[in-house]
Amino acid sequence: MAKYFDVHPDNPQRRVIGNVVDRLRSGDLIAYPTDSCFALGCQVGNRDGIARIRSIRRLDERHHFTLVCRDFAQLGQLVYVDNDVFRAIKAATPGSYTFILPATKEVPRQLLHPRKKTVGVRIPDHVVTQALLAELGEPMLSSTLLLPDEDEPLTQGWEIKERLDHVVDAVVDSGDCGTEPTTVVDFSGGGPEVVRRGAGDPTPFE
């Protein structure tokens, strides 16, 4: 049964955030709110967590996982970013965007696109997500909480608790959450390619 954490949207309780991060470090898989919508998250090296995300969402090996970063210092350790791309991403973050870029050797092989050797990265604009990342002290592996055969992601903590009670370990609910997935921009081919239109305005990348 999943543990339910009720977190204040503007002033996250440090004790609660600490408890959630303790669970992440012990190998738990959580559902948590972001500026786009709810997501599934675990530590980057958590092989069981990765397998569980794939199972819950029925993802194949070509799916791009996202590494959620607190800031550019973290992001820059995970992907290769030239000056032009840096400026474009910097202008759009933090925000509801996921950027696909060539991964560095810091990224575990099982997270890479098998052919392109790329990974998704993002810096969210959400108080609770940022509090979790600050306490964790490292990026978090993440994937949009969009269930198979459903067109819309889950956006209510109580519904996630009800429907995923036996497949996730914790649900973090702050009440304040976006309702659509991120806009995904692929920079792996050189110039930007918008591969999914979502919460972030795609205009700057078109």
pLDDT, tens only, 2-40:
999 999 999 999 999 999 999 999 999 999 999 999 999
Q: What is the DSSP letter of 156?
A: -
Distance from chain centroid for Cα 65:
8
In single-letter form, the type of residue at position 100 comes to I
Token duo for residue 22: 């303790």
- Give the pLDDT of residue 42: 98
- Give the pLDDT of residue 154: 84
CATH class, domain 3-205, is alpha beta
Whole-model pTM: value is: 0.94
d(CA 19, CA 40): 17
Residue showing tokens 């609770």: 128
pLDDT digits (tens, 9 = 90+) for 150-160: 888 888 999 99
d(CA 32, CA 177): 9
Q: What is the DSSP letter of 193?
A: E
To the nearest 5 percent, what fractions of the chain are helix, strand and coil? 30, 20, 50
- Give the pLDDT of residue 151: 84
Helix, strand, or coil (residue 101): strand
What are 5's strand-pairing partners? Answer: 172
- Mean pLDDT per 10-residue section of the chain, whose length is 206 residues: 96 98 98 95 95 94 89 93 91 96 92 90 97 98 92 89 96 90 92 94 94
Domain boundaries, the chain: 3-205
